[in-house]
Structure 1
Amino acid sequence: MKTAVELRERRAFNVVELLYKYGTLLTILVLVAVFGTMADGFLNGSNVINILRSISIVTIIAIGLTVSLAVGGFDLSVGSAATLANAVVISMFVWHGQNLFVGIAVAIAICLAIGLLNAFLVTSFNIQDMLMTLATMFVIQGAALTYTKGATISENMVMPSGDFATGLIPDVFSKLGSVPWIIIIMLIVVASVHIFLNYTKHGRYMYMIGGNPEAAKLTGIAVKRYRLAAYLLSALFAGIGGIVLASRVMTAEVNAGAPYLMDAVAAAFIGFSVFGAGKPNAFGTFVGAVLIGILSNGLVMLSVPYYAMDIVKGSVLALALAITYYKRQHA
């Protein structure tokens, strides 16, 4: 017969299991109920659209981070890559008078070069991904500041020569950052990566590499090639996030993508526990971003000071990590 201690341990484990699988969704429902009761207009359709719009850029960047996590990596340079993409695409229009396609293509090409650099450094020198991409994060951030000379890029800005910039941002470019296109782009990115990781052999190979790279290598999987692909995709989505950000604000601010890094990391790790996935996944990352978006939106509507937001976000991330790693240790 089972002792009382064993029964209590089993009940505690079942509670943790329940929280691990459905805790994020239950938290979202609780937050919706609380904010819906305390904040007038929180449940309005326009505010729901506002939340989805506000998480779009974070989600796109976090999806790239999710792909790098799938192969056991950790790309901390996504925020800086988004900053550089933001600066490059706006400068292509304002400084160089290029058209829509050239501006976007150049920004994406530069971000893919960042992905190549990260993959080369990580796979060639066998340095822990997080440490290497932390280094490249600072390099890319410095490159963006050097390129813009620490100034905001906008139409009719004053150039170093004293003349005004004559280039114009195409009107169609602004559509990318407006509703409904910004939300549609986010949903397409989430759906595409979800299908890729879960329903293609390449996605399954990435998960195998993330789970045990040595075993994956022994089965004939080209580990370095897939890690390269993961970092290229991570940089690609960071670039798309930076371009959408540029479209939304129509300027290139100094370190514009940096604030998105923490939210992207939080969303990706919160996603580990959605429906008990236990691994990085696109749908879970989206749910994690929704949770963060609801928190931010609700706290703003309750007039919580902006400087206290990171306390809440950090606490949510700490809780998600605690539940995830507790479950792994007791699996």
Structure 2
Amino acid sequence: MEPNLNANKRKPQFSLMDFLTKWGTVITVIFLFVLFSVLMPRTFLTASNMITILRSISIVTVIAIGVTISLTVNGFDLSVGSTATFADALIMTMFIWYGMPTSISIVLTIIIALSIACINSFFIVKVKIPDMLVTLASMFVFQGVAMTYSGGGSVSENMARLDGTPTTGKVPDIFDKIGQAPWIIIIMLVVVISVHIFLTYTKHGRYLYTVGGNLEAARLSGIPVNRYRTLAYFMSTFFATLGGIMLASRVGSAQINAGAGYLMPAVAAAYIGFSVAGAGKPNAIGTLIGALLVGILENGLVMLSVPYYSLDIVKGTVLMLALASTYFRSKD
């Protein structure tokens, strides 16, 4: 009797849990989209509302990309919200208090805000304080710096300076366009695509993942670990600053703690992105999908007239289910 050569060959079997692990977040996004479309076909499923959703997630996504990059080195930047607030206050005062042009104001805001990355990197890399503690401290420090610099109030056109003198500066029209569609959406997509290419297809992106995967192994293989950890926090601060600039353009003023509300949605988007397509690591495309999940959910709930005090309960529950569907592993 001849042996059956194919007896030991196992046919690949479909696993529902593996499928949910890889595509649970995407399924949740599609489910919410279909659900709100059925419930509100004349209001939710319109071109203008789709643009509204994309515009609403643009700032969150850009800030979340910064969090994503910090996660690649097994870090965690909690200061992104206060960085956005700081950048918001800086650029608006440059326009309104000092009458500076757009290009110079943007460049100066980025350079000054990168001081946050210098402080974070020094204490994390050189002093070796855990990153979460350092960025938590800098979150409070620069939140206070922004409020102190702006006098504890908002910064808007025709306001008086801290000493009582009137201001004559105006927000440039070209700067206002940054916060409008389609430009704010284009900026978001350019950031996501650029970071995706950087992390996936460049040596430096692979080094960031290697450092985050095993710090000692990366050091032994010749990777300058401290340099790449520093790079991660500088990039995180840069994108949080860019998010703050976009926020200033969209609102047209600097409000107290304006960036604080973006911290948790950005963190949620970055962590949800881990599981998209079974990546198992922080990635830009997954972060975008995570932000889209949060954006569709919030937009649909508002249109359903859900009381504002209940929004966090519903959003938290759906986000928890989305994470559970992607991270749960069936027992053997």
Q: Under a length normalisation based on structure 1, what TM-score does the superposition of the two structures give?
A: 0.92
The 5 Å alignment of 1:313-328 reads 313-322=315-324, 326-327=328-329
Q: CA deviation at 1:319?
A: 3.8
d(CA) in 1 for partners of 2:67, 2:18: 26
Q: CA deviation at 1:154?
A: 0.4
- The change in CA–CA distance for 1:316 and 1:136 in structure 2 (over 3 A counts) is farther
Matched with 1:164 is 166
Matched with 1:187 is 189
Pair 1:61 & 2:63 matched:
yes
| 1:138 alignment partner AA | F
More helix by share: 1
| 1:38 alignment partner AA | L
Q: CA deviation at 1:116?
A: 1.4
Map Cα deviations across residues 164-190 of structure 1 (whole Å, 9 max, x no partner).
211111111001000110000000000
Matched with 2:250 is 248
8 Å Cα contact 1:111-1:238 kept in structure 2: no
Q: CA deviation at 1:324?
A: 5.7
d(CA) in 2 for partners of 1:258, 1:317: 20
Matched with 1:6 is none
Matched with 2:10 is none
The 5 Å alignment of 1:1-331 reads 14-39=15-40, 40-322=42-324, 326-327=328-329
Q: Rg: which structure is higher?
A: 2
Matched with 1:5 is none
- The change in CA–CA distance for 1:135 and 1:320 in structure 2 (over 3 A counts) is farther
d(CA) in 1 for partners of 2:101, 2:290: 36
Q: CA deviation at 1:312?
A: 2.8
d(CA) in 1 for partners of 2:278, 2:159: 50
Q: CA deviation at 1:152?
A: 0.5
Moved more, 300-309 or 181-190: 300-309
Pairwise CA RMSD: 1.8
Q: CA deviation at 1:229?
A: 0.5
Q: CA deviation at 1:119?
A: 1.0
8 Å Cα contact 1:272-1:324 kept in structure 2: no
d(CA) in 2 for partners of 1:162, 1:110: 26
Q: CA deviation at 1:270?
A: 0.5
Unaligned 5+ runs, structure 1: 1-10
Map Cα deviations across residues 195-241 of structure 1 (whole Å, 9 max, x no partner).
00000010001001111111111100001000110000000000000
Residue 97 of structure 1 aligns to a residue whose secondary structure is: coil
Map Cα deviations across residues 225-278 of structure 1 (whole Å, 9 max, x no partner).
001100000000000000001001110000000000010000000000100000
Q: Under a length normalisation based on structure 2, what TM-score does the superposition of the two structures give?
A: 0.92
Unaligned 5+ runs, structure 2: 1-12
